[in-house]
Amino acid sequence: MTVSDNTHIPRLDPWSRLRVHTSARIGLGRVGDGLPTSQLLEFQMAHARARDSVHMPFEGENLARDIAGLGLPVVPVQSRAANRAEYLQRPDYGRTLDEDSKARLLSVQGNAATEGLAAGDYDVVFILADGLSARAVHENGAEMLRQSLGLLDESWKIGPVVIASQARVALGDEIARRLQAKISIILIGERPGLSSADSLGAYLTWAPKPGCSNAQRNCISNIRPAGFPLGEAARKLVYLMAEARKNGLSGVHLKDNYSALHLVEAPSPALPE
């Protein structure tokens, strides 16, 4: 049987086998000089989700209830940015505390003194912050904190958990400095991508103080179920914490051997007989 030249024979999409392995937008196709309608609609939906994540109200009180069972005091604070619009327009406001929050942290230090804790007795303070994606913290922040704390031994003196709204990464420096903590860990919503609106970042800083640069931090990015799994991210974070405390440094000067250690500790695949 012959096939007419005018007969349309659909071709298999060579990208279909690859799309199942990634959430990235690959092999979108083309109709004329534009995208297929289905891909255009998916792009618009992903863009809308990313915008919603940036503007989503931060549910700090619900987050505090989620971590209430961890046995640590919870302290809410806010940056100088009074609202989301100001936060987006003035990044510098998101890096410093407002006056009420400064006073609240000062009272926390006073309470610690009555309990026999001297200034600087905290090894680490954990901060949960909205950043550019409140959704990321709502969905992954409490669990990331819970798994990280579960991996720490009793030698760690852990400060109160701080929940920060309208926060940038550098806000953790001022918070930790006021609590006299040696290490700050800020778990913060990252700038959402078109396929990762729930991405959480963990930033570690040794000897934090206002004015620290990003070169003084270690970052674990893309923490989410479809990215860097929370359990593995928590193990890497605790490894970096231990290395920072042992060596008294962080950032570009702290050698990160976690991946190499992980490969060494992984079981060797069985060889064929």
What confidence tens digit (pLDDT) does each residue in 216-248 have?
999 999 999 988 999 999 999 999 999 999 999
CA distance 132 to 55: 8
What's the chain's length in residues?
273
Report the pLDDT averaged over residues 239-263. 86
Answer for the pair 104, 75: CB distance below 8 angstroms, yes or no: yes
pLDDT value of residue 120: 53
- pLDDT 10s digits, 144-177: 999 999 999 999 999 999 999 999 999 999 999 9
- Give the bridge partners for 10, in sequence order: none
What's 66-253's CATH class? alpha beta
Residue ranges of the annotated binding site are 169, 190, 219
pLDDT of residue 20: 67
- The Cα-based distances of 78 to 54, 226, 228 in angstroms read 17, 30, 28
Cα 23 from Cα 85, distance rounded (Å): 30
Half-sphere exposure of 215 toward its Cβ, with a 13 Å CA cutoff? 2
Which uninterrupted H or E stretch holds 29? none
Mean pLDDT of the chain, nearest integer:
85
Residue 170's pLDDT is: 97
What is the structure's pLDDT at 91?
Answer: 95
Q: What angle do CA 116, 118, 123 make, to 5 degrees?
A: 110
Identify the bridge partners of residue 78 per DSSP, sorted by sequence position. Answer: 165
Dist. CA 187–CA 228, nearest whole Å: 14
Angle between helices 134-150 and 37-55 (to 10 degrees): 70
Give pLDDT, residue 111: 67
| Exposure string for 24-36, b = 16+ CB within 10 A, e = fewer | eeeeeeeeeeebe
DSSP E strand boundaries for the chain: 74-78, 122-129, 161-165, 181-189, 200-206, 217-223
Sheet holding 181-189, edge to edge: 74-78, 161-165, 122-129, 181-189, 200-206, 217-223
| Binding site as annotated, residues for adenosylcob(III)alamin | 169, 190, 219
Average pLDDT of the residues in 13-25: 69
Decide which of 222 and 9 is more confident: 222
Q: Is the dihedral of CA 157, 98, 197, 193 positive or negative?
A: negative
